[in-house]
Every structure is written in structure tokens, then in C-alpha cells.
Amino acid sequence: MSDARTTVAVHGATGYAARELLTILARHPGAEVTALTTRRDDAPHVADVHPSLRGRLDLHCENLSPQQLAERAEIVFLCTPHGASMAVVPALLDAGAKVVDLSADYRLNDPAVYAEWYKLDHVDAARLPETVYGLPELLRTQIPGARLVANPGCYTSTTILALAPLLAGGYIEPTGIIVDAKSGTSGAGRNPKLGTLFCEVNENLAAYAVGDHRHQPEIEQVLSDVAQKPVDVLFTPHLVPMDRGILATIYATPAEPLTAEAAREALSMFYANSPFVRVLDGLPGTKATVGTNFCDLTVRVAKGKVVVLAALDNLVKGAAGVAVQNFNLITGRPEITGFPEVGG
């Protein structure tokens, strides 16, 4: 890799995930942001869309075609909703760009499963087998050669990072796992909708999509690969009146007698070379991870159950931060580049 900076574009630059991504890219020593998109035709300055970026990035958001994006940037981040990403990926790749997609479009291996959970036919299904799932803590060695990386979902990353070491080591049963997860409202994006209005969310705590959330098949797909046997989870998300942060409390059955200390040691060993995962003795909370690319984990054993707890920021480790880890790996840089808190 040369010292030259890599040109990058952000498609869907007016949303929350894009704001976090641009915050990291603006300070990244190896990235030069050269294009931002919106469907708007008034080409707003990025600082008018995201005031926190004022003075850090001097670009306008434009309504650009995939071909125009690929002319301006070597790597394109897609911060667009599912459906919108697969509409531009073929043209971007044909034009020579590499893509990190933050949406769900290329995460599931089976187009029939995608159609069932997203209520959309996949328009680029032939590409699914060559897409790499962008969770570096599990697939670090596969990401460098990829032209298209599918970033994980935010609840998905939280759950997979919590369970992968225990399933890989055979410490817990692969079935009967219960995931109780709570997310701040930014997880639902910036696009206004009734359910995310202040008066709906404030002073309220409610579950949604019980056993029916589209992250459930994604969690099961990735963890089944890790365990090398079918993994079955019951996933219940909750919306909490916070801007950001996810806490997952996960209950599993031990496969053999297990102490909390041994389980934590298994996590520590598994993540020994993963600087963004912190295995704690104490209990994780969202506040310690908000605005960071860390996922905090711990394990308890009680009443015959293994209880794994995981916290991360849905917009950073759950979206933009892992996208930058993937960018670093694709461009041959150390995975921590752009994250001074871990020496990058």
C-alpha cells in the first residue's frame, strides 16, 4: 500500500450512519472524501445537513449517478436503506469502484430468505456468493481481497460478538438461545416516522417485532457458520428513549459445567487480537461505548444459564466504525487506522 490517500464517496450522506462515518473519515489519515450524495436537487452543504461536521469537511451533497460516484472515488460507502443499495451496486462495481454496503442487501446468503424477511425480490442475487460479510472480528482474513463488503446490522453485531466465542468453543448449546436487546432510537434512522417521534419514544420502553425481526435470520446464518451446526435464537428488540446505544442480554444453556470465569477467559482469548472488543469483569452499559467503536462484553452464570451481556454504539461499532475497519482492511491498512483511541 502506498502512502497516498484513498478517495472515498458516501452515498446516502444525509442520514445518521453517514454522519458518523464522515466524522471518522474526516480525521482518517488514509481517506480523502471526494463525493457525497442525496436525492435532493438543491445540493446542500454537508455542514448544513450535519452541523457537527462544520469546519471538518467542505463538500456539498449532490444527486449523482453510480457512474459519477465511481469516477470520483475508489471506494463507495452505501449508507442507503435496503433495496436502494442493490439498485446501485452492480453499476458501481462495473465502473471499477469497491463498495462497503451498510444496508442489509448483501448480508444474507439465500435470496429466498432475503425475499421472505425484507419483502423484496433481490435484483442482484448472483453476486451474493462473492460478497464478504464485514465483521472483521470473525472474518478478518477474507475482507482484504473483497470488492463488495456487506456490513452487519447493529443488533446483529452485538449478538454475534457476544455469542461467537462460546459457540465456537462448544461452551453453550446452539439451540434455545434468547436474545433480549434494547436500542436507542437512532437505530431507526433519520427519516421521520410516527414511531420515532419524541412523544412516542420519550418516557416509553416497548418491545417490537417479537421473534419476527429481520436481524434474526442474519444472526442465525452467521452463528451457524461459527458453530458449524444450526444455531437457533429467539430475538426480541426493544426501543428505548435514548439517542444511541444497544444493550443485549442473552441467555443460553451451558453444554457442560461452566464457570463465569472460564467463559470470560474464552471471550478474552477469542478477542485477543481484536482491539475494539473489551471483555469486562463488571457489567457493560451503553454510556461507556457511545461515540466509540468498542463493543463491551461480559458473562455471568446463574440458575443454570449462561448470561452474556454486550453493549455498543449502534451508529459506530454497529455501523460506521465497522465500515471503517472494513475500509482499512480492503485498502491494506492496519484495521485500527483512524481510531486514535486504540493507537490508529
Ligand X SMILES: CC(=O)N[C@@H](CCC(=O)OP(=O)(O)O)C(=O)O
Ligand Y SMILES: NC(=O)C1=CN([C@@H]2O[C@H](COP(=O)(O)OP(=O)(O)OC[C@H]3O[C@@H](n4cnc5c(N)ncnc54)[C@H](OP(=O)(O)O)[C@@H]3O)[C@@H](O)[C@H]2O)C=CC1
Residue 79 known to be catalytic: no
3-state DSSP assignment of residue 289: coil
3-state DSSP assignment of residue 108: coil
**CA angle, corner 36, sides to 35 and 40, nearest 5?**
135
Amino acid letter, residue 153: G
Encode burial over 206-224: b for 16+ CB neighbours within 10 A, e otherwise: eeeeeeebbbbbbbbbbbe
Residue 237 binds ligand X, judged by CB under 6 A: yes
Residue nearest to ligand Y (CB): 15
In whole angstroms, the minimum distance from the beta carbon of 263 to ligand X comes to: 27
Residue 14 binds ligand Y, judged by CB under 6 A: yes
Residue 104 binds ligand X, judged by CB under 6 A: yes
Residue 53 binds ligand Y, judged by CB under 6 A: no
Contacting range for ligand X; rule: CB under 6 A; set: 183-191, 197-205, 227-235, 333-341 = 183-191
| CA gap 110, 88 in Å, rounded | 20
Can you tell me which of 6, 8, 16, 131 binds ligand Y, judged by CB under 6 A?
16
237 binds, among ligand X, ligand Y, none (CB under 5 to 8 A by kind): ligand X
Locate 328 and state its grid cell: 482499512
Binders of ligand Y among residues 210 to 269 (CB under 6 A) are: none
| CA gap 160, 174 in Å, rounded | 13
Residue 185 binds ligand Y, judged by CB under 6 A: no
Locate 186 and state its grid cell: 437512532
Antiparallel, parallel or unpaired: β 246-252 and 305-312 = antiparallel
Can you tell me which of 165, 187, 284, 338 binds ligand Y, judged by CB under 6 A?
187
Pick the catalytic residue from 61, 79, 154, 295. Answer: 154
Phi, psi (deg, nearest 5) at residue 129? -65, -25
15 binds, among ligand Y, ligand X, none (CB under 5 to 8 A by kind): ligand Y
C-beta of 84 vs 307, nearer to ligand Y: 84
Can you tell me which of 188, 226, 255, 301 binds ligand X, judged by CB under 6 A?
188
Contacting range for ligand Y; rule: CB under 6 A; set: 10-18, 108-116, 119-127, 198-206 = 10-18
Whether the CB-CB separation of 80 and 103 falls below 8 Å is answered with: yes
| CA gap 45, 260 in Å, rounded | 51
Positive/negative CA dihedral, 131, 133, 134, 140:
negative
Residue 291 binds ligand Y, judged by CB under 6 A: no
14 binds, among ligand X, ligand Y, none (CB under 5 to 8 A by kind): ligand Y
**CA angle, corner 21, sides to 15 and 24, nearest 5?**
145
In whole angstroms, the minimum distance from the beta carbon of 250 to ligand Y comes to: 19
Residues that bind ligand Y (CB under 6 A): 12-18, 38-40, 79-82, 84, 102-103, 153-154, 186-187, 189-191, 314-315, 318-319
Active site (catalytic) residues: 154
